Structures are given as structure tokens and as C-alpha cells.
Amino acid sequence: MFVKHYCNYIPANELFYFLKIVLDFCKLILYFMGYINTRPTKLNTMKSEVNKLTKTQQNVLRGIKNFVMERGYPPTIREIMDLFGYASVNNVQRILSVLERKGYISRKHRGNARSIEILSDDIESKSVIKTIPVLGKIAAGTPILAQENIEGYISVDLSYIGARGDFALTVKGDSMTGANIFDNDLIIIREMKQPKNNDIIVALLDEEATVKRFVSESNQIKLMPENPNYQPIIINKNDLYFRVLGKVEAVIHRI
């Protein structure tokens, strides 16, 4: 009964490796109990065997990665169909589901047509390629990642820049040049509401996003520039027109 129930949910190739592991484990027990004289070979772990991809799955994963590297954003399902000549959406969905289940991709934001994030191009890789939105003018009172705030998307290797990112903004102005943040740079931001003192943050102030160093005092907040030509912005902690959007985690300079 258990095997029949198990077979309904586990693909045949994974079931084969599972049973093989069980058999090897039983042999190992018999060896230590003295019933057999030959020590079994080293047990294969479920992960090392099951996480192997078929040739088709490898090709699709490689195609997605190349698409991201060339264009800066992930393909839609229709674009994957065109790349590999699939006639059915279901074929692509099935392959993507396998890649996601085995930890190669993530599709957290399924409402977005370009929701694929590459987590790994091989089992040992630590590369994390993530597609994040680039925000334009942020409307007051709306969620940060509301569709009307998004101008486009960018794919970044978070392991390369050594940071976590939820969204990006293009810097306007030169008030933060002392922190090596220049006009037209792209900053990667981690969404948060309670930064620490001296964090460089993005804040919404009177419907305008600003990048400054955060300093919290007893009854006020100072937004400190990193350019002597600019004065600090002093804000009352009860100011309803001020909110922290996130902490700057990385800067991408544009040449």
C-alpha cells in the first residue's frame, strides 16, 4: 500500500534511486551485523542522484541563463517555447517545475511574466542571478513594488556583488559622491523599514525618493549627504510624509 501511494507522487527515475538507496542501506546494516562479508560501496545521497538533470532540462536551463546574460532579464514562457520549438505551454511548464523543484530556478512572483530567477547552473554553483524591478517615480501611499512604480527589470548576480537586493533605483544628483555614489549610478536596495544608524538608505520624502545616510536622534532623524555642498535634511520622527524604503546594498557604476 505504501509503495503504491508513494509511486503516485514520485517520478519513476527518482523512485528508482530512492529504492536503490534503501537497498544499499539494508546491505550496510547486514554488513555491520556480520551477515555479509563484502562492504557495500559508498551510499549515494538522494540529492546527488535525483538533482541530476536530463539533457533536455540542461538545455532549457542553459538557454534561460544565456537569455538573461544577453538581455538582462529572463524569458517568458512563450519566448522559451520559441527558443526550443515547443508547441505546448505545458511542456515548458513541466520542465520549469522540475528545475524549480531541484533548486536551479525560482518563480516566486508567478503573476509576473518574467518571474524566473536562476539560483544555480550546476549543483555546486553558488551563483544567484536574480531579476529585480527598477523603480521610477514612487507614488506616495502605494506599495514600493506596485506596478505603476516599475520602469523595467534588471538581472544581477547577487553572489558577485555580495548583497541581497529587492529593487533598484537610478541615482539623480551628486549629494552622495563622498560615498562613491554618483549621478546616473544604479543602486541595489534591500527593502526594510528600520535601518541602523549610518546606513545609506533610500527614503520617500514629500513623494520624492532620496538617497542619504541615516542618523536617528532622540526626537528627529537626520538624512546626511556625502557632499559638503549639501545640507542635512532634518525630519521629525512623526512626519507622515517620510518613510524609509530600504537600505542601499550595492552600487553599479555606469560608464
Give the C-alpha separation, 183 to 189, whole Å.
Answer: 16
Q: Residue 212 catalytic? A: yes
- Residue of 65, 120, 130, 175 marked active site: 175
Nearest to 134 by CA among 114, 120, 118: 114
Which residues are registered as beta bridge partners of 252?
186
Q: Where would I find the beta strands (DSSP E) of 7-104? A: none
CB 229 within 8 A of CB 177: no
- Residues 6 or more apart whose CB falls under 8 angstroms from that of 55 comprise none
For residues 129 and 118, is the Cβ–Cβ distance under 8 A? yes
Give CA 122 to chain center in angstroms.
16
Q: Examine the residue annotation and report whether 175 is marked as an active-site residue of this protein.
A: yes
Residue 2: Cβ-neighbour burial (10 angstroms; 0-12, 13-18, 19+)? exposed
- Cα gap 128→134, rounded to integer Å: 18
Residue pair 133/167 in contact (Cβ under 8 Å)? The answer is: yes
Q: Quick check: 44 and 20 in contact, CB under 8 A?
A: yes
The full length of the chain comes to 255
Residues labelled catalytic: 175, 212
